[in-house]
Structure 1
Amino acid sequence: MQLICDGCGEIRTEVTSQLREPDVVWPVIAEYAWSGSAFATGPHRCPRCPTGPIDVPVVPSAGPVESTAWHVAIDPLPDAVVVRPSGDIDLAVAEPLRAALAEAVAVGRPVVLDLSQVELIDSTGLGILVRAHNDARQRGLTLCLVSPSRFVLTVLHTMRLAGVFLTFDERHQALTCLAAARAD
């Protein structure tokens, strides 16, 4: 198994008979004090590289702004608030996503987290989703996921969180379900 640092390119090779390449690589990451995804395909950083946040724009409610950097759009609809991150969810974008989800929950309508533009999520991102779910639930609201990637679904299943979130393939399915629940 090889870990490659996304910061400096350092490579660590570990021979293991217990884990296959696509499986969880957390034991190897922890042994070398690396940070990042617990999966072989996620982002990783060695201890020498800085892990601080990068400048990541959060798009205000007025609408999305095109950017090559990671961003998140917040679309308030009559019956829900749609949060649409674009790019992988990891430590580098934790604060903007947390702020966007907190803003969406504060509106007081169900929250639809559209993950159609997200391929990967790390433990920090997963923690943000759980926190947003709990915040929404405390306010009597629902937070649901739309179009999660296979990787995101695998992480949710591995961490035994698959049953915590309502999950839909398409945004219109989520909005229809939320509207029906509200009508009841």
Structure 2
Amino acid sequence: MPTGDGTALLICDLCRGEDSAVDATRDGDLVWPVVTALGWTGSAFATGPHRCPPCSEESGPQQQATGGERPAYHSASYQIRTDDDVDVAAITPMADLDAGLADRLREDLMRAASGHRHVVVDLHAVRFIDPAALGLLVRARQEARQHGATFDLVAPSRFVRTVLHTMRLDGVFRTFPDLPSAVNAMAPDRTGRPSDIVSAAAVVQSRTKT
């Protein structure tokens, strides 16, 4: 929790141990950078729950996700859809973006960033993103830019928007409320017409990774 003197205080929900660090956030409700810096796990928001490093190790990876609601390492899937007409690849994670899913997504995401004119990551099913996954998005965007491509985000949650704002990345990623809006921005002349990428009957490629 923010202490009012420029620091944030973390209290472990298991052993009640405490730790504090300089609060580098720009949102008083978010302690994600502090949690990460101190090696704690749990919620990125001040309301918790949080676990100190020793308790995190004892509780195991099954309890280290987004406030204990999901395992941090899971077998969640993601979808990749492409539209050759607009030359866009849409990647849709089907669960929270943690280190486990980021590792499985990395190869396909980087391939899309280097092989398409436009790349969009549809985050409508993502409530939480951890540092490893955020770093992957940043690297994929850099890869896309090196190839003269765009790299945008769709439907980021409040948490994801707050993280982007806190890490000063909200001005780096272009965001759209939904996939059709993103695709239409890439091909303005198609506005008013359904894009192949959002039409199930006309998807050029659709595959789910499990």
Decide: shared fold, TM above 0.5.
Answer: yes
1:123–1:54 CA distance, 2 compared to 1 (3 A): closer
Give SS of 1:129's match: helix
Aligned residues of 1:91 and 1:124 also touching (Cα < 8 A): yes
Instruction: Tell me how far apart the structure 2 counterparts of residues 152 and 22 of structure 1 sit (CA, whole Å).
Output: 13
Is the deviation greater in 129-138 or in 102-111?
A: 102-111
Kindly report which structure 2 residues correspond to 1:99-118, keeping only aligned pairs within 5 A, or say none.
99-118=107-126
Aligned residues of 1:87 and 1:118 also touching (Cα < 8 A): yes
Matched, 1:97 2:105: yes
1:163 to 156, 171, 185: 171
Kindly report which structure 2 residues correspond to 1:81-160, keeping only aligned pairs within 5 A, or say none.
81-160=89-168
Kindly report which structure 2 residues correspond to 1:3-22, keeping only aligned pairs within 5 A, or say none.
3-4=12-13, 10-14=14-18, 22=29
Aligned residues of 1:3 and 1:13 also touching (Cα < 8 A): yes
Q: 1:75 matched to which residue of 2?
A: 81
Instruction: Tell me how far apart the structure 2 counterparts of residues 131 and 140 of structure 1 sit (CA, whole Å).
Output: 14
Structure 2: where are the runs of 5+ without partners?
Answer: 2-10, 62-71, 190-210
Structure 1 residues 41-66: Cα deviation after superposition (integer angstroms, max 9, x where no partner)? 68867342566x8463xxxxxxxxxx
In the TM superposition, what is the alpha-carbon distance from 1:107 to its structure 2 partner?
2.9
Q: Number of residues paired by the alignment?
A: 161
Alignment RMSD (CA, Å): 3.3
In the TM superposition, what is the alpha-carbon distance from 1:128 to its structure 2 partner?
0.7
Matched, 1:175 2:183: yes
Q: 1:24 matched to which residue of 2?
A: 31
Give SS of 2:187's match: helix
1:167–1:131 CA distance, 2 compared to 1 (3 A): same
* TM-score with structure 1 setting the length: 0.72
Structure number with greater Rg is 2
Instruction: Tell me how far apart the structure 2 counterparts of residues 3 and 159 of structure 1 sit (CA, whole Å).
Output: 24
* TM-score with structure 2 setting the length: 0.64
Name which structure has the greater RCO, CA cutoff 8 Å, separation 6+. 2
Structure 1: where are the runs of 5+ without partners?
Answer: 5-9, 57-69
Instruction: Tell me how far apart the structure 2 counterparts of residues 45 and 106 of structure 1 sit (CA, whole Å).
Output: 39
